[in-house]
């Protein structure tokens, strides 16, 4: 009962951070696991289905921008990691966490592994579930807010995204505690007083 835990979306200016935990079933191996960032989107989608089908247990936690703004991205991510382990609802023997920080109050002995998504199959599986889930959420968000191009950059601070932010201002899915978004809020208040409630 070893769980791999990873996240997707710490760096973007918009959308949630998504955290996943996966316990692999040794009797149902999954070929082709790798760090999700090293895989084509089509390969990630195929592996996503295999993980859902073959894993002994998995969980996915979506941490919304409001929570991120209230607690900061590090604490929001650590909370999501702890919550993802708890939601497995299994008697865990160990949690393997991608990165260099272990959340407090984990439900089992836990170990942080730098670049664990390149070495530990359970973390690889968790990274795939987290990234595919988040990418799909951002594509859904793009249908609501087509002016930002979320389906392309997934909320990361690309030049096109920053230009759209300057042109249209933040939407309600942008993270107001992040510098490029926060910098625009005073301007919004000056030009549209009714939006003063956007300030953090």
**Residue set of the binding site for a divalent metal cation:** 6-7, 98
In angstroms, the CA 124 to CA 161 distance is 28
Q: Which residues are annotated as a binding site?
A: 6-7, 98
Q: CA–CA distance from 176 to each of 11, 76, 139, 182 (Å)?
A: 13, 14, 20, 5
In angstroms, the CA 111 to CA 94 distance is 8
State the Cα torsion 28-36-113-130 to the nearest 10°.
-80
> What is the gyration radius of the CA atoms in the chain, in angstroms?
18
């Amino acid at each position: 009962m070893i769980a791999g835990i990873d996240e997707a979306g710490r760096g973007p200016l918009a959308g949630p951070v998504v955290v996943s935990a996966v316990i692999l079933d040794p009797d149902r191996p999954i070929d082709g696991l790798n760090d999700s960032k090293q895989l084509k989107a089509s390969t990630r989608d195929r592996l996503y289905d295999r993980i859902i089908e073959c894993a002994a247990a998995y969980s996915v936690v979506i941490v919304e921008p409001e929570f991120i703004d209230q607690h900061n991205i590090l604490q929001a991510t650590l909370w999501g990691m702890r919550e993802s382990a708890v939601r497995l609802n299994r008697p865990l023997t160990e949690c393997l966490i991608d990165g260099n920080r272990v959340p407090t109050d984990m439900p089992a002995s836990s170990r942080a592994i730098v670049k664990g998504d390149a070495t530990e199959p359970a973390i690889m599986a968790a990274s795939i579930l987290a990234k595919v889930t988040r990418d799909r959420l951002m594509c859904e968000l793009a249908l609501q807010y087509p002016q930002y191009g979320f389906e392309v950059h997934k909320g990361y601070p690309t030049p096109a995204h920053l230009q759209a932010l300057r042109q249209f201002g933040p939407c309600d899915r942008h993270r107001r505690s992040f510098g490029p978004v926060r910098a625009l809020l005073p301007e919004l208040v000056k030009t549209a007083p009714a939006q003063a409630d956007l300030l953090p």
